[in-house]
Amino acid sequence: MNQKTTEEMVPLLWFFPYFFEERILQNIPSLNMMDYKVEYENHKKYGMNLTSKGSP
């Protein structure tokens, strides 16, 4: 068995509601998080042309 150890990064795309951010970072502090806003083309409540503000 090869005794070499290598560190390899594995690409990960993980979707969670923004209010989970604190809990996720407590458990995985090395995780780099990005914010994306999702819009739906064919949904009455979550459509693209709404006048109300969405989540931060």
**Does residue 2 fall inside a structural domain?**
no
Q: How many domains does the chain have?
A: 1
**Does residue 42 fall inside a structural domain?**
yes
Is 0.75 topped by the overall pTM?
A: no
At residue 27, the pLDDT reads: 93
Average pLDDT taken over every residue of the chain: 75
Tokens of 40: 């739906």
**Does residue 1 fall inside a structural domain?**
no
Identity at 17, one-letter amino acid code? P
In the chain, where does DSSP find H-type helix? 21-27
| Residue 49 binned pLDDT confidence (cut-offs 50, 70, 90) | low
**Does residue 40 fall inside a structural domain?**
yes
**Does residue 4 fall inside a structural domain?**
no
**Does residue 32 fall inside a structural domain?**
yes
Residues 25-45: pLDDT tens digits?
A: 999 898 888 887 777 788 777
Tokens of 21: 């951010």
- C-alpha distances in Å from residue 19, one per residue of 22, 47, 49, 54: 7, 21, 24, 13
